[in-house]
């Protein structure tokens, strides 16, 4: 993956969030409660898919990345810490293994 591709993906991700914040009116009531609770289960489902690809357990570097991300979230409760913890776990597993 090139740095240009990573930068493009980041621009699309954050750009869509900015547009959503500026263009979409605020949601209230029960719908707001539902939307506030939705991201955690959604991210958990997306994160679980690669762990059991093709009916087999993921390779050790992937499992280490997940463990690092989960540990970072438990300690810091931040998306940035989850990303950095996952990256650190992956790098340690590939370096040591």
- The pLDDT tens digits for 18-32 are 887 788 788 888 888
Q: Would the pLDDT of 54 be above 80?
A: no
Give the Cα separation of 16 and 9 in Å (integer): 11
* pLDDT at residue number 10: 87
Q: Are 66 and 90 in contact (CB under 8 A)?
A: no
Compute how many other C-beta atoms are within 10 angstroms of the C-beta atom of residue 67.
16
Q: Are 72 and 84 in contact (CB under 8 A)?
A: yes
Give the Cα separation of 51 and 92 in Å (integer): 18
Q: Mean pLDDT, to the nearest integer, of 13-20?
A: 83
Q: Mean pLDDT, to the nearest integer, of 36-63?
A: 76
CA atoms within 13 A on the CB side of 6: 3
Q: Mean pLDDT, to the nearest integer, of 1-28?
A: 83
pTM: predicted TM-score of the whole model, two decimal places? 0.49
């Amino acid at each position: 993956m090139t740095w240009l591709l990573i930068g493009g993906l980041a621009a699309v991700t954050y750009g869509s969030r900015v547009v959503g914040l500026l263009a979409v009116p605020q949601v209230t009531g029960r719908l707001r409660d539902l939307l506030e609770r939705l991201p955690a289960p959604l991210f958990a489902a997306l994160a679980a898919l690669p762990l059991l690809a093709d009916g087999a357990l993921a390779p050790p570097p992937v499992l280490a990345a997940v463990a690092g991300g989960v540990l970072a979230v438990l300690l810091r409760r931040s998306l940035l810490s989850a990303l950095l913890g996952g990256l650190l776990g992956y790098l340690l597993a590939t370096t040591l293994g």
